[in-house]
Amino acid sequence: MTENEEYEPGNKVAYGFGAFADIVAYQVFTFLVFTFYYAVVGIDIDLVTLGFVLWSVWNAINDPLSGLISDRTNTRWGRRVPFIAAGAIPLSLLMFFMWTPPTGNVIWSFTYFLIAICLFDGIYTVYSLNLTALFPEMYLNKEERASANNIRQIFNIFGLIVAFIVPTLLISDLSAKDTAVDVVLAEYRFAGVVIAIIVLIGALITVKWGISEREEFSKDFLSVPNVTDAFKHTLGNRSFQCFLVAITANWYVFGLIPTIVPLYGQFVLGIGAGQSILLGVLLAAAFLSGGACVSLWKYVVNRWEDLRKAWIASMVLWIAALIPFILIENVIVALICFVLNGFGLSGSLYLKDLVISDIVDEDELKTGVRREGAFFGMNALIMRFSVIMVFLSINMVFNSVGWKVFTPDQATPDVLFGLRLLMSVFPCIALFFGIIGFSRYPLVGERLKRVKQERDGLHKEKAGAVERAPKPTEVPDEPDELESAE
């Protein structure tokens, strides 16, 4: 496919299924993994935090390296497609095996936990990084990106709802607060089977009908900078630096809220055993209202033509909706607050990939090649780094209020206040820093218009070079293999 050709709506829908599988896998992980290993399996908060710190060391190597390898890969199917296809089945299998640790021995439970989260992240990165890296390459102009992003965000919202509702329909007591641990373990495993099937179906649809790569970028792998230069170009990009501050804050909030909601709901809002579905409903309400707001943010972007202003506005709205969680005590008021949260969080979901797509366009003018893998790899690293911040925050609060080990009968007023802080004050502070960082984002106005014009000219040159290149007259006898640029 070349730049002059546009993707059909059906292709955009199929791509959306891949995003759906991505979001279901990661949000189920985010929503349940802490509560499961801390409250059900019984690993204390210090060991859980240690596990995620070690996990972050693995991420510091895995995420950027995966992006660089992707950028430098060449096969008959392109740079990204083989990795997406290879990651689909292992990712779905891990959605079951995440919930099958040995119990009764803390060392074995912790070891299994550490291996499981590292395997999950490695395979998830292979799948997700390459899928998201394809977005700015497949959809090049503003109109196509807006249209495809609109469809994708609808699938993202639906995926978030599935990630929160399905487990709470199948697991009666997420923390085993009032239910036998063996019963809860069996429910987690059954939920894992269901989620694994859902993830697999979405991923296979996108592999079959939703992804392909443009011919004019087929030789970019030959000119990708070496590792040192790639890091220098990526982290030295002023626009990307501002983006990193904002996205770190947003990923922190996206990670903290679902992680703490099971305990906040049970101990602050009084949601009991057999009512787990209410926890899913609360989170789903936020993303349902967020889904309804996607078109609103699309209108705002088209009207303002300023992604910086739009993203800052979404973070301001998000802060306003998070403040009440420090005070509320019942499910009805909480439901209203979660609905209001949808206005702000949907802006972040819609805008983040539009921003990084512009940054990739600007970088292409400097390096001569499209390096989505490097940028999305660094974005993936930041997303995992924000998880460390989440668990350090939880660790600090739980240790300070005497909840190092999960003891449901010792939920003192200090514990309840700590849960309120984690639901309200901590996210608001993070978003405030996100606003400050992104307020200096430079890729707007005339500078952005100039980047788009120069990018279009460069793509025409690349398309011409591909057309002039000699075509092979016969199919090689040897099978295609992954070839990394030297």
pLDDT in tens, 397-430: 999 999 999 988 888 999 999 999 999 999 999 9
pLDDT band at 110 (very low <50, low <70, confident <90, very high): very high
Between 2 and 92, residue with greater pLDDT: 92
Would you say residue 317 has pLDDT above 90? yes
pTM assigned to the model? 0.81
The predicted pLDDT at position 27 comes to 93
Structure tokens at 216: 């004019």
CATH code of the domain in which 242 resides: 1.20.1250.20
The predicted pLDDT at position 477 comes to 52
Is there a domain that residue 102 lies in? yes
C-alpha to C-alpha distance for 482 and 254, rounded to whole angstroms: 35
The model's pLDDT over 22-31, given as tens digits with 9 standing for 90+, comes to: 999 999 999 9
Number of neighbours of residue 107 by Cβ within 10 angstroms? 9
Is there a domain that residue 426 lies in? yes
C-alpha to C-alpha distance for 431 and 393, rounded to whole angstroms: 15
Between 225 and 177, residue with greater pLDDT: 177
CA atoms within 13 A on the CB side of 402: 11
Is there a domain that residue 207 lies in? yes
Is there a domain that residue 206 lies in? yes
Instruction: Return the SS3 of 74.
Output: strand
The predicted pLDDT at position 222 comes to 54
Q: Distance between alpha carbon 30 and the CA centroid of its chain, in Å?
A: 10
Is there a domain that residue 358 lies in? yes
C-alpha to C-alpha distance for 31 and 33, rounded to whole angstroms: 6
The predicted pLDDT at position 281 comes to 94
Burial 189-216 (b: 16+ CB within 10 A, else e): bebbebbbebbbebbbbbbebbbbbbbb
Structure tokens at 44: 């204390």
Would you say residue 295 has pLDDT above 70? yes
Is there a domain that residue 147 lies in? yes
Question: How many domains is the chain built from?
Answer: 1
Unique residue bearing structure tokens 């579905």: 277
The mean pLDDT value of the chain amounts to 87
The predicted pLDDT at position 283 comes to 92
Structure tokens at 166: 């399905």
Domain range holding 32?
Answer: 10-212+238-467
Would you say residue 277 has pLDDT above 50? yes
Longest dimension (CA), the chain: 76
pLDDT average, residue stretch 442-470: 83
pLDDT band at 3 (very low <50, low <70, confident <90, very high): low
DSSP for 422-458, written as a single string: HHTHHHHHHHHHHHHHHTT----HHHHHHHHHHHHHH
pLDDT band at 463 (very low <50, low <70, confident <90, very high): confident
Is residue 176 a contact partner of residue 39, using CB atoms and an 8 Å limit? yes
Between 71 and 432, residue with greater pLDDT: 432
Which one of 41-50, 150-159, 294-303, 382-391 scores highest in mean pLDDT?
41-50
Is there a domain that residue 355 lies in? yes
pLDDT band at 77 (very low <50, low <70, confident <90, very high): confident
Is there a domain that residue 480 lies in? no
Amino acid identity, position 301: V
Residues 6+ apart with CB under 8 A from 178: 272, 273, 408
pLDDT average, residue stretch 307-330: 96
Instruction: Return the SS3 of 215.
Output: helix
Would you say residue 486 has pLDDT above 50? no
C-alpha to C-alpha distance for 139 and 149, rounded to whole angstroms: 9
The model's pLDDT over 184-235, given as tens digits with 9 standing for 90+, comes to: 999 999 999 999 999 999 999 999 998 877 665 555 555 556 667 777 778 8
The predicted pLDDT at position 485 comes to 40
User: What phi and psi, each to the nearest 5 degrees, are found at residue 19?
Assistant: -65, -35
DSSP for 90-102, written as a single string: HHHHHHHHTT---
